[in-house]
């Protein structure tokens, strides 16, 4: 028994020593593979970080493919992955329910935290009587560009040797976002209606940017279900305004959108908040840009645009 305790204490000391060495590891980014090790909280941050990092970064998405980030909690393995990375990229504004907590735990460690959406979320929504900040800035290409620039600045600071490459990659993504912005402007400037009904309130910034009006069935998180009265009022609104399409999302149950469509005689159509792609989406080569383009096509159909 004594021998066992001795071994256990020895093992604990060895582990503590390894942890201490690792915690004191010098930054920035002295890594064996020579690549920046980046963890990103969910798909859009993963996509932007991967595009900016190019061949010089290994980027991991913490939220698994097909999972919904609003209620995802990192596993102990995810936390280890974050703690052993050089950079953690968050959207911020409580999109990641764990983001602020983990960022606070990383203060004083070599892990650099980039909050790509810091200072960009300026729209409020009322949920259960409380005012909450809308975190869905990546769905507005103009705000998304600023997120990309924040990510690039963080990469340059962590790994100045590849700074020119990160800035050049960021410029390419920003050009793609400019192209998307022009397509949305042109595609949505001559439409019969401006109201659209979505599952959760993810499209507020996109709506503001292009002069549209989002009517959400649930709140800022998909699990905020409406009351029976709210659903009845929504049914009436859809009928009165002759809204022909109800948007649903693929990562959450389409039950509410289906019910509303049945009650009103409307059809359902996908509007993707791009909070996560499924494994099959990724295998088919879908990405942020293809999903934004699909969203534009479906908005044009729902709003009867010319």
Write out the residues near Zn ion by the rule CB under 5 A.
202
Q: Is 180 exposed, middle or buried (0-12, 13-18, 19+ CB in 10 A)?
A: buried
44 vs 187, which CB is nearer to Zn ion? Answer: 44
Under 8 Å CB-to-CB from 185, ≥6 apart: which residues? 210
Residue number closest to Zn ion, CB atom:
202
CB of 138 to Zn ion, least distance (A): 10
Q: In what order do the strands lie in the sheet with 36-40?
A: 57-61, 36-40, 87-90, 112-115
Tokens 């549209």 belong to residue: 212
| Shortest Cβ 141–Zn ion spacing (Å) | 17
d(Cα 251, Cα 66) in Å, to the nearest integer?
6
Q: Which is nearer to Zn ion, 249 or 281 (CB)?
A: 249
The smaller minimum CB distance to Zn ion, of residues 43 and 56, is found at 43
Taking the complex as a whole, the smallest distance from the CB of residue 76 to Zn ion amounts, in Å, to 25
CB distance 150 to 173 below 8 Å: no
Closest to Zn ion by CB, 116 vs 202, is: 202
Half-sphere exposure of 8 (CA within 13 A, CB side): 5
Report in angstroms how near the CB of residue 51 gets to Zn ion at its nearest: 21
Report the residue number, 85 or 91, with the smaller CB distance to Zn ion: 91
- Nearest distance from residue 7's CB to Zn ion, in Å? 49
Contact present, 96 and 74 (Cβ < 8 Å):
no
Please, which residue, 53 or 276, has the CB nearer to Zn ion?
276
Provide the b/e sequence for 93-126 (b: ≥16 CB within 10 Å).
Answer: bbbbebbeebbeebeeebbbbbbbbeebbeeebe
Report how far Cα 261 is from the mean position of its chain's Cα atoms: 27
Nearer to Zn ion, 50 or 218 (CB): 218
For residue 90, which of 70, 118, 110 has the smallest C-alpha distance? 118
State which residue, 166 or 205, has the beta carbon closest to Zn ion.
205
Spatial distance between the Cα atoms of 133 and 127, rounded to a whole number of angstroms: 10
Report the nearest approach of Zn ion to the CB of residue 265 (Å).
28
The least CB distance from residue 72 to Zn ion, in Å, is 12
Main-chain dihedrals φ then ψ at residue 195, nearest 5 degrees: -85, 135
Q: What angle do CA 272, 273, 274 make, to 5 degrees?
A: 85
In the bound complex, what is the minimum distance in angstroms from residue 202's beta carbon to Zn ion?
4
């Amino acid at each position: 028994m004594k021998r066992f305790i001795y071994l256990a204490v020895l093992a604990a000391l060895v582990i503590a020593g390894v942890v201490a060495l690792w915690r004191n590891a010098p930054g920035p980014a002295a890594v064996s593979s020579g690549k920046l090790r980046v963890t990103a909280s969910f798909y859009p941050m993963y996509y932007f970080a991967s595009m900016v990092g190019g061949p010089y970064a290994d980027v991991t998405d913490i939220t698994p493919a097909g999972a919904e980030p609003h209620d995802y909690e990192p596993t102990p393995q995810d936390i280890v992955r974050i703690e052993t990375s050089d950079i953690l990229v968050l959207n911020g504004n409580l999109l990641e329910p764990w983001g602020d907590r983990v960022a606070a735990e990383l203060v004083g460690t070599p892990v650099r935290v980039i909050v790509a959406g810091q200072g960009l979320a300026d729209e409020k929504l009322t949920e259960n009587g409380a005012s909450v900040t809308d975190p869905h800035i990546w769905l507005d290409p103009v705000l998304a560009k600023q997120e990309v620039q924040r990510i690039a600045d963080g990469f340059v600071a962590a790994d100045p040797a590849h700074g020119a490459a990160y800035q050049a990659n960021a410029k390419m993504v920003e050009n793609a976002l400019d192209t998307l912005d022009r397509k949305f402007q042109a595609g949505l400037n001559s439409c019969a209606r401006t109201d659209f009904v979505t599952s959760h309130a993810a499209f507020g910034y996109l709506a503001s940017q292009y002069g549209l009006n989002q009517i959400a069935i649930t709140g800022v998180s998909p699990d905020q279900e409406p009351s029976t009265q709210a659903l009845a009022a929504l049914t009436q609104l859809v009928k009165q305004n002759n809204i022909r399409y109800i948007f649903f999302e693929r990562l959450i149950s389409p039950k509410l959108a289906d019910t509303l469509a049945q009650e009103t005689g409307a059809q359902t159509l996908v509007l993707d908040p791009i909070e996560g792609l499924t494994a099959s989406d990724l295998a088919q080569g879908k990405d942020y840009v293809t999903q934004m383009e699909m969203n534009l096509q479906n908005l044009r159909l729902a709003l009867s645009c010319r």
